[in-house]
């Protein structure tokens, strides 16, 4: 389910309904309220995240919560970015770890006293040696340092030992060229590597250093996620992170997700007022206005908020509310959209009754439409297409 299709207000409501899930996996130093606020802020600063599936959005937030990293903040710990999964034909959320996030994870392991990564420039004094008498000496130039020629990472361990790793610029650039995200970027200068080469170089040498450090579960998970991202492979956050099923519950909430109650354009991030649903109705398009604003006009699984039900049976939709939606439909298009909600009712007897209500309501609307066939011909064609889609969804829906 794509976040844009349900609206930013529904995404916000959905995230708030999952506060208990976040609280269960968060470390003590991070609160669920803060993670939710950060996640909603990430969607405003990166509007393309609204093109991602709702499941992967929650999965990305939960995964960052488990790692104790705040995404898309000035801390530079991690970033939620959209990722085109061509195999599935959908856009998912992908986690990109910053080098500061890797450093924070290593310090929290309890085995590393200090850890750092730096770039070496051509005018710096730099000397190192591997072997039995390892040494590392770096004295940055106080004036013009010149271009970057190498990177290194060094860590002091709890037992008094140390470890370091050095990489030349050529080695880092080779990894950059092999990165799927950089290789297939249309605008290489605008890619992460193009805009933040020094930071990515530090992160690259840190990842190599991790091979010699005591590894915690969080560090191993972070390294695995980062490796998948570097290879351009889906992290499957919606599968690995979210357990159980979820059910759509209509709320009638027309808030579009901004913290001050204003609407946010998912494409541009522009704050809008009034809401898109109200704007459509005022623009003289009652069918689309009703489809965006009223619970009756949204397909099941595309409106309302989602309630996680991994620990028990799903509640399903209220048959009485679905019936009210069917009876309030004034044209075939809105009726067919409302009929999609029938699949969300778990009681089979109630489903059968609602199907009868649907057929009876169709007959009434069609009889009313026959009074002006010329005006209703385009709508009838749209309704026929919508009816076929609805019938197909019913056949595919699990019983």
* Same domain assignment for residues 278 and 347: no
Residue 141: pLDDT over 90: yes
* Same domain assignment for residues 364 and 320: yes
Identify which of 193-197, 275-279, 304-308 has the greatest average pLDDT: 193-197
* Same domain assignment for residues 71 and 125: no
- pLDDT, residue 337, reads 66
Q: Kindly indicate the confidence band of residue 381, based on its pLDDT and cuts at 50, 70 and 90.
A: low
* % of the chain with per-residue pLDDT over 90: 15
Residue 151: pLDDT over 60: yes
Torsion-angle region of 79 (φ positive above 0: left; ψ -120 to 50: alpha; else: beta): beta
Mean per-residue pLDDT, 125-154: 95
Mean per-residue pLDDT, 142-159: 94
Count of structural domains within the chain: 3
Picking from 274, 295, 313, the residue at the C-terminal end of a domain is 313
* Same domain assignment for residues 113 and 154: yes
Residue 103 lies in a domain: yes
* Same domain assignment for residues 105 and 206: yes
Q: Is the pTM of this model over 0.75?
A: no
| Least reliable range by pLDDT among 109-123, 199-213, 238-252 | 238-252
Tens-digit pLDDT profile for residues 223-265: 777 777 766 677 777 644 444 333 333 444 434 333 333 443 4
- pLDDT, residue 150, reads 97
- pLDDT, residue 250, reads 40
More confident residue, 280 or 385: 385
* Same domain assignment for residues 124 and 156: yes
CA dihedral sign of residues 55, 61, 64, 65: negative
* Same domain assignment for residues 114 and 204: yes
Residue 194 lies in a domain: yes
Residue 229 lies in a domain: no
Among 385, 330, 333, 327, smallest CA distance to 356 is for 327
Mean per-residue pLDDT, 300-326: 54
* Same domain assignment for residues 209 and 120: yes
* Same domain assignment for residues 203 and 121: yes
Point out which residues pair with 135 in neighbouring strands: 129
Picking from 313, 341, 375, the residue at the C-terminal end of a domain is 313
- Phi then psi for residue 231, to 5 deg, are -90, 0
- pLDDT, residue 182, reads 74
Residue 211 lies in a domain: yes
* Same domain assignment for residues 273 and 323: no
Residue 231 lies in a domain: no
Return the SS3 of 216. Answer: coil
> What average pLDDT does the chain have?
72
- pLDDT, residue 245, reads 39
| Least reliable range by pLDDT among 138-147, 158-167, 339-348 | 339-348
Residue 230 lies in a domain: no
Residue 223 lies in a domain: no
Picking from 257, 283, 313, the residue at the C-terminal end of a domain is 313
* Same domain assignment for residues 264 and 277: yes
* Same domain assignment for residues 208 and 309: no
Which residue range(s) make up the domain with 354? 316-399
Residue 66 lies in a domain: yes
- pLDDT, residue 158, reads 87
**CB burial readout 264-301, b (16+ within 10 A) else e:** bebeeeeeeeebbbbbbbeeeeebbbbbbbbbbbbbbb
Mean per-residue pLDDT, 54-80: 84
Q: Kindly indicate the confidence band of residue 307, based on its pLDDT and cuts at 50, 70 and 90.
A: very low
In order, the DSSP letters of 85-102 are: ETTTTEEEEEEEE-HHHH
């Amino acid at each position: 389910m794509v976040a844009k299709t349900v609206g930013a207000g529904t995404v916000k409501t959905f995230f708030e309904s999952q506060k208990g899930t976040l609280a269960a996996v968060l470390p003590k130093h991070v609160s669920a309220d803060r993670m939710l606020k950060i996640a909603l802020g990430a969607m405003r600063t990166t509007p393309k995240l609204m093109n991602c599936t709702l499941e992967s959005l929650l999965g990305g937030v939960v995964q960052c919560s488990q790692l104790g990293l705040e995404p898309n903040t000035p801390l530079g710990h991690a970033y939620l970015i959209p990722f085109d999964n061509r195999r599935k034909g959908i856009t998912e959320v992908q986690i990109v770890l910053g080098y500061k996030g890797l450093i924070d994870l290593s310090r929290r392991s309890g085995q590393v006293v200090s850890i750092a990564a730096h770039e070496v420039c051509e005018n710096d004094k730099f000397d190192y040696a591997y072997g039995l008498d390892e040494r590392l000496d770096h004295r940055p130039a106080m004036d013009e340092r010149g271009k970057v020629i190498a990177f290194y990472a060094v860590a002091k361990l709890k037992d008094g030992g140390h470890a370091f790793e050095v990489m030349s610029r050529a080695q880092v650039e080779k990894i950059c060229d092999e990165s799927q995200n950089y290789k297939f970027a249309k605008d290489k200068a605008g890619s992460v590597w193009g805009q933040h080469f020094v930071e990515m170089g530090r992160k690259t040498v840190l990842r190599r250093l991790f091979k010699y450090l005591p590894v915690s579960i969080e560090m191993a998970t972070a390294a695995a996620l980062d490796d998948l991202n570097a290879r351009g492979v889906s992290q499957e956050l919606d599968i690995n992170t979210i357990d159980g099923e979820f059910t759509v519950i209509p709320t009638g909430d027309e808030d579009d997700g901004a913290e001050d109650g204003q609407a946010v354009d998912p494409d541009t991030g522009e704050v809008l007022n009034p809401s898109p649903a109200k704007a459509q109705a005022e623009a003289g398009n009652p069918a689309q206005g009703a489809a965006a604003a009223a619970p009756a006009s949204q397909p099941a699984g595309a409106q309302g908020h989602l309630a996680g039900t991994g620990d028990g049976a799903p509640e399903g939709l209220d048959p009485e509310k679905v019936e009210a939606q069917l009876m309030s439909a004034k044209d075939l298009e809105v009726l067919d959209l409302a009929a999609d909600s029938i699949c969300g009712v778990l009681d089979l007897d109630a489903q059968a009754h609602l199907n009868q209500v649907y057929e009876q309501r169709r007959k009434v609307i069609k009889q009313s439409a026959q009074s002006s066939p010329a005006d209703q011909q385009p709508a009838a064609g749209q309704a026929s297409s919508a009816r076929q889609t609805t019938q197909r969804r019913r056949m595919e829906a699990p019983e």
